Amino acid sequence: MDKLAILGGTPVRNQNLAYGKQSIDEEDIERVVRVLKGDYLTTGPYVKEFEEKVAKYVGAKYAVAVANGTAALHMACFAAGISKGDEVIVSPITFVASANCVLYCGGTPVFADIDPVTYNIDPKEIEKKITEKTKAIIAVDFTGQAVDLDEIRKIANKHKLFVIEDAAHALGSEYKGKKVGCLADMTAFSFHPVKPITTAEGGMITTNNKELYEKMMIFRSHGVTRDSSLLKQSDGPWYYEQLELGYNYRITDVQCALGSSQIEKIDDFIRRRRQIVSRYNQAFQNLKEITTPFEAAYSNSGCHIYVIRIKPKLLNATREDIFRALKAENVGVNVHYIPVYLHPYYRELGYSVGLCPNAERLYDEIITLPLFPKMTDQDIVDVINAVKKVIDYYSKVRC
């Protein structure tokens, strides 16, 4: 008999609950409408306003907003000078963009395994993967938990490497009391709808390095500049020059108006996310069949996603069984992430199973539960009840 059918009864929820969702209010809408009624839809004042707000929030000197988080990572690799023959060490537990950005520049991603407790890239594994070709480290703040930046920085300084922090999950997170975004050479953020704040699509790099900032400003707009201090010559006030092979990675004023409104609410968003995580942690603390997220003492997470890890040996179930059962209860779940090098494209490049054992074991056992600021208290109760119902069923089936 189908195991899903055995659960029987009425689902915990009548309607599906998404695992993640944007939080848009009337003030956000009004800001966007104001731009639509104005003179500039793109390359106008709201881009600079948004950049300045985010830079101030994270404590960085400079910020460059772009079309999406992938563009931000690509831009960071370009600014770091990644090119053919260079190697960049990357976490395998991330979205493909964290490694693809290296390929875009002609470099080679080198995957270093994760810490089995924090799920972030393990500094000891980074050290093992460094060669004379290594040029940078891309460290991902998985789920919003900050990576161990001090240890990573020690390694980077020793080998003269760039540190690019992929903080797509971590706007508002902290490392040892300082906001993520002011500590790495470059920090990449994403503003996709499920992220801490949204511009619909969008991304940003923050940095304290003026030289990197100037490279990125040129790169996001075709490699073209009108800055008189950078021009090789000048034919008049209309004159501009292409200095690099850049891309059209510009973000619009419409998006940045939304972002400027959203960043003003981020502390409230994170406060709510942490409340939900606290409720989950308390509810699941006695479920021996799952492992709840661990947070290192140096990190104060913005709680982007909530990942549970099932213990197959204590359940007569696979991760897929649990996943499908929760979906049947109308709880929107997801899996973050398939190790990047296991995707067919990377396999064709020569990467193989067994490269990062901790990452592969994690992938086999994780499920992402719903977590977003607009979740109601009843939504939280529903998720908790669904998890307990499913785990209880499969625990009994095992017995």
* pTM metric for this prediction: 0.96
Backbone CA torsion sign across 211, 214, 219, 225: negative
What pLDDT, on the 0 to 100 scale, is given for residue 337?
98
Tokens in use for 321?
Answer: 């069984």
**Domain 26-263: which CATH number of 3.40.640.10, 3.20.20.80, 3.30.200.20, 3.40.50.720:** 3.40.640.10
pLDDT recorded at residue 398: 56
Q: Give the burial string for 251-282 (b: 16+ CB within 10 Å, else e).
A: bbbbbbbbbbbbbeebeebbebbeebbebbee
Specify the pLDDT at position 396: 78
Q: So what's the pLDDT on residue 1?
A: 32
Domain range annotation of the chain: 3-20+266-398, 26-263
3-class secondary structure for 275-287?
Answer: HHHHHHHHHHCCC
**pLDDT at site 3:** 47
286 exposure class (CB count in 10 Å sphere: 0-12, 13-18, 19+): exposed
Domain at 3-20+266-398, CATH homologous superfamily:
Aspartate Aminotransferase, domain 1 (3.90.1150.10)
pLDDT tens for each residue of the chain, 399 residues long: 344 445 767 899 999 999 999 999 999 999 999 999 999 999 999 999 999 999 999 999 999 999 999 999 999 999 999 999 999 999 999 999 999 999 999 999 999 999 999 999 999 999 999 999 999 999 999 999 999 999 999 999 999 999 999 999 999 999 999 999 999 999 999 999 999 999 999 999 999 999 999 999 999 999 999 999 999 999 999 999 999 999 999 999 999 999 999 999 999 999 999 999 999 999 999 999 999 999 999 999 999 999 999 998 999 899 999 999 999 999 999 999 999 999 999 999 999 999 999 999 999 999 999 999 999 999 999 999 999 999 999 997 655
